[in-house]
Chains A and B, each alone.
Chain A
Amino acid sequence: MKVLAGLAVLFLALPAWAAPDAARQNELEHMVRQDCGSCHGMTLKGGLGSPLLPNNLAGKDKAFLAAIILDGRPGTAMPPWRGMLSDEDVDWIVDYLKRGTK
């Protein structure tokens, strides 16, 4: 019984640290295009920040890209987004950027 209750708690807790749901994905997509876009360009072709199109990111490790988003790049204008974005949000964004936006 205890085990079952434990499982139930685990199950209930899951959504909080699972992949972003569809609504969150929409928010993240909007954020990437509009807010990241204020430096990287709305089409992500670059601006004050580097271009973020799939061919610019090809060959770059996902964990490396996720770390840049979470912790920023000291000495540049890239801020750390930790606090605004969860690890799971950032993983989704890295996949989204590598895949290419529509």
Chain B
Amino acid sequence: MRSTFILAASALLLAACAPQPKGTGDLGIVIARATGQVVVVDNSAKKPLATVDGLGDLSHASAVYSRDERYAYVAGRDGGLSKVDLLTGTLVKRVMQAGNSIGLSISQDGRVVAVQNYEPGGVRFFDADTLEPLSEIPTHGSKVVGLADAPGAKFVFSLFDAGEIWLADLHDPRHPQVTKFPNIGRQPYDGLITPDGRYYIAGLFGEDGLALLDLWNPDKGVRRILDHYAKGDPALPVYKMPHLRGWAQAGDEILVPAIGHHEVLVIDTNTWTEKARIPVAGQPVFVVARPDHRQVWVNFALPDNGLVQVIDIPSHKVIDTLHPGKAVLHIEFAPKGEQVWLSARDDDKVAVYDTETRQQLTEFKVPSPSGIFFTARAHKIGM
């Protein structure tokens, strides 16, 4: 009786001392690229919660999430791989894994983090819990771009210098098996995977076209789509490489930037041919579909990087041109798309817009913000 009372009393005491339990599904991070920080943000409250220091050179940093959405893995330009705890707002672990890295991905089962490197090239694999190295796939000096996870314990990526797509099987994470697809075209600059994980598409910088791999039928090889889409129009100088890794699929259409042109290309996924091209204000960098696929938001390379345009999918028309701030680097939708967050690097701010009214709801300061990553990414294929 007495021990029961003590137990009950101590349980009460514990409950009083313990912090309120909190989920992480409404959180995210914003990269502060110039100061080596990430800012933990609350999506619904639309405000920063904590700043985490010490992540190194975060120019061109990107992030993926653990399956429980508690931890963000951040790959920085300096080759650092960092694990950040969103609940405590702390840096849990950081390893230097290469000289120069460009992005990362997490496996289907959430146990392996893969990092793609420019220097010395290749992809390295790490235990998601401990960040201990598991294995690596060298690419003999070729820079790796467009890394994505795919169903069946796979990772797929492209080799910028060699012009190849490689498909890695990580069923045994210590002994990856690689299938190589050579001669896919000159200078693939990034890749996207469709939300169902079936198709991998590499955009080419060195020629007009894209390379398509059907992961359900890899034996059929890589085929060229939208070959010579520029039809001889000379390309403009490209002051910033576009990114394909948005969610640019909307229904049976995939929207991608036209390299060196002020256009967004619409690919029909039934025929894999060009269905339309949409004139826009500048050279697109990110072309991202709102989660309901009714709108696509686009930002631009210099000198038009102060603009964001909104494309209406049914009509393929630009329905709005916004001026969110100087040097808009990234676009991230709330998981169901009612709001969108935009980072304006040279205004040191993040702006939050209502996607229906396209009015700004709020903004807050972050030094040199770049990528914005909400935890909902944890459960998307291709991340």
Contact = CB atoms under 8 A, between A and B. Distances in A.
Interface size class, chain A: 20 to 34
Interface string B95-134: 0000110100000000000000011000000000000000
Interface string A63-82: 00000000010010101110
A47 B240 contact: no
Contacts of B237: 72, 79-81
A84 B238 CA distance: 12
Interface residues of B, number: 29
B135 to A, nearest CB: 24
A79 B239 contact: yes
A34 B345 contact: yes
A54 interface: no
A53 interface: no
A75 B205 CA distance: 10
A37 B60 CA distance: 9
A77 B34 CA distance: 23
B187 interface: yes
B59 A41 contact: yes
A45 interface: yes
Nearest to A37: B59
Contact of B33 (A42, A45, A46, A75): A42
Given A41-B77, A48-B241, A35 B160 contact: no
A48 B238 contact: no
Contacts of B99: 45
B118 A47 contact: yes
A25 interface: no
Interface string B300-326: 001100000000000000000000000
B57 A47 contact: no
B241 A43 contact: no
If over half of A's interface residues share one DSSP class (helix, strand or loop), that class is named, otherwise mixed; here it is: loop
If over half of B's interface residues share one DSSP class (helix, strand or loop), that class is named, otherwise mixed; here it is: loop
Contacts of A48: 102, 118, 143, 160, 189, 241
B119 A42 contact: no
A73 B210 CA distance: 23
Contacts of A84: 239, 302-303
Interface string B233-256: 000011111000000000000000
A35 B238 CA distance: 12
A57 interface: no
A67 to B, nearest CB: 15
Contacts of B160: 48
Interface in B205-251: 205-206, 237-241
B346 interface: yes
22 contacts: A34-B34, A34-B345, A34-B368, A37-B59, A38-B59, A38-B240, A41-B57, A41-B60, A42-B34, A42-B77, A43-B57, A43-B77, A43-B78, A45-B78, A46-B119, A47-B77, A47-B102, A48-B102, A77-B187, A77-B205, A79-B237, A79-B239
Interface of B: 33-34, 57, 59-60, 77-78, 99-100, 102, 118-119, 143, 160, 187, 189, 205-206, 237-241, 302-303, 327, 345-346, 368
Interface of A: 30, 33-35, 37-39, 41-43, 45-48, 72, 75, 77, 79-81, 84
